[in-house]
Structure 1
Amino acid sequence: MTAIQVYNAAGDKTGQVEIDPALFDKTVRRALLKEALIAHLASQRQGTHATKNRGMVAGGGKKPWKQKGTGRARQGSTRSPQWVGGGHAHHIDPRDYSYQLPKAQRRLAFLSSLRYRLEKGGLVAVEGLDLGEPKTKTVAGFLKKVGISDGAKHKKALIVTEGNQPGLYLSARNIPRLAVAERRNLNAGQVLLHGNVVFTRAALDALVDDVKGGDAKPAAAPAKKPAAAKKPVAKKPVAKKPADKKPADKKPAAKKGA
């Protein structure tokens, strides 16, 4: 069992929550975590890069010099790729780099990332940080008292809430290297990129219930009643068609004078 320290909004210790790391995953799946992290980083790319090919660059409609007689190489436009100011031979279009892992892999990677962060001692919980109004001073004071802000130069912090909390979000948005996310939107990439993950007590309880509920085996389906045996259908007798009668062979007529 591993203890998760619980603090109040002032940064004082109020208790502990014992959690078995095996609740999240039996082991840290590093290969899967790498896949999830790369997918998360790819989804963060803006992808608005673009260059122009020779058809997109303005100008270049006039032939620089005549085809023959100059001794120089033939040129048809000053916007060819070999010219300064010309277009790119293989230009780049804007594109979307995001992609998703299969649903089962995403969930397994998320649970494995929680075990990894739990083993590293980067999971804590807080009570009473549900701010109705923005109070940056309260959030900054909590982080300083807990000691998270001391390592902010090397480790980013993430506060996980249960549901939307605009007051807490507005309080934390002006603090460098601090992010706020809802538990339902949390993924493995966010857990891995933030060295300190702070769950609100409601979010932590909901997470544990969700993991336990997801791992529970579904109830066995009720046994189906055996289908009633079908009664044999009596086949109607098929009337036989009368055989075609062959015409009787005619006897040859007797010859006269015989």
Structure 2
Amino acid sequence: MAEANLKKVDGSSGGKVNLPEAAFGIEPNRQAVYEAVKGILANQRQGTSSVKTRHNVSGTTAKPFRQKGTGRARAGSNKSPLWVGGGRIHGPSPRDFSVTVPKKTKRLALRSVLSDKAAHDKVDVIDGTPKLDAPKTKVMSDLYDALAPGGEKCLLVLDRYDENLYLSVRNLPRLWVTTVSGLNTYDALNVDRIVLTNDALKALEERE
């Protein structure tokens, strides 16, 4: 049975807590993680980059100057890629980079990353979060210092969206916040430590 450190809001230790085997106790599948991360990064690409070829450049189709007698190199169009203001050779055009990843693969990939983190003692559970009536970066900065005293990149996972808490971490470069429903393989892989609230752990267990 995988275990995690239970911490209080002030960062003090509260013992150990068992983690659900289905999400934190499997053998990591590297191929599934690769496919999931590849899909996430590919689907973030806009694919709107575009340039004009010689056929898209507007202007006259007339020959710039006569073929012979000027001493210049022959030219049949001022839209030539060799000319300033001409078209671009083999330039980018709009395309769709999106990749479809099967749901089972995405679930397996996330569970693989969570299991690997748990096996290396990189998963903590916190018994709650500060109750904020307004965004307070200082409060979340103190919480981060308590959760990751070594300066690790840390992902705090909540059971539901908390606007004040989200706004409070915007200026903290090594702390991110997400929800159980928004947790993905790339976010989990891209941090050193994952911290779940008690409610988030229950929600994750129910989802699995």
TM-score normalized with structure 1 length = 0.71
Q: Residues 191-229 of structure 1, C-alpha deviation per residue, up to 9 Å, x if partnerless?
A: 111222111110012112322xxxxxxxxxxxxxxxxxx
Give the corresponding residue for 1:45. 45
| Structure 1, 142-151 or 107-116: larger mean CA deviation | 142-151
| 1:1-258 superposed matches below 5 A | 1-19=1-19, 21=21, 23-24=23-24, 26-59=26-59, 61-70=61-70, 73-133=73-133, 134-148=135-149, 150-151=151-152, 156-211=153-208
Question: Cα–Cα, structure 1 residues 122 and 98, in superposed 2: closer, same or farther, change >3 Å?
Answer: farther
Of 138-147 and 49-58, more deviation after overlay is shown by 49-58
Q: Deviations over 1:7-66 (max 9, x none)?
A: 222211223212365654531101111111111111223433222222343546552221
Residue pair 2:4, 2:123 contacting (<8 A) in 1 also: yes
* Deviation sequence 1:217-247 (CA, Å, 0-9, x none): xxxxxxxxxxxxxxxxxxxxxxxxxxxxxxx
**One-letter amino acid of the structure 2 residue matched with residue 39 of structure 1:** G
- Structure 2: distance between partners of 1:150 and 1:167: 23
CA RMSD of aligned residues (A): 2.3
- Supply the distance in 1 between the matched residues of 2:49 and 2:127 (Cα, whole angstroms): 44
Percent of pairs with identical residues: 38
Q: 181-190 or 49-58, which moves further after superposition?
A: 49-58
* Alignment check: 8 A CA contact 1:21 1:118 kept: no
Give secondary structure in 2 for the equivalent of 1:184.
Answer: coil
Deviates more, 1:89-98 or 1:133-142: 89-98
8 Å CA contact retained: 1:130, 1:165: no
TM-score by length of 2: 0.86
Q: How many residues get paired?
A: 207
Higher RCO (CA-CA < 8 Å; seq separation 6+): 2
- 8 Å contact from structure 1 (residues 62, 77) kept in 2: yes
Which structure has the larger Rg over C-alpha atoms? 1
Deviates further, 47-56 or 108-117: 47-56
Mean Cα displacement is larger for which, 171-180 or 56-65?
56-65
Q: Identify unmatched segments of 5+ residues in structure 2.
A: none
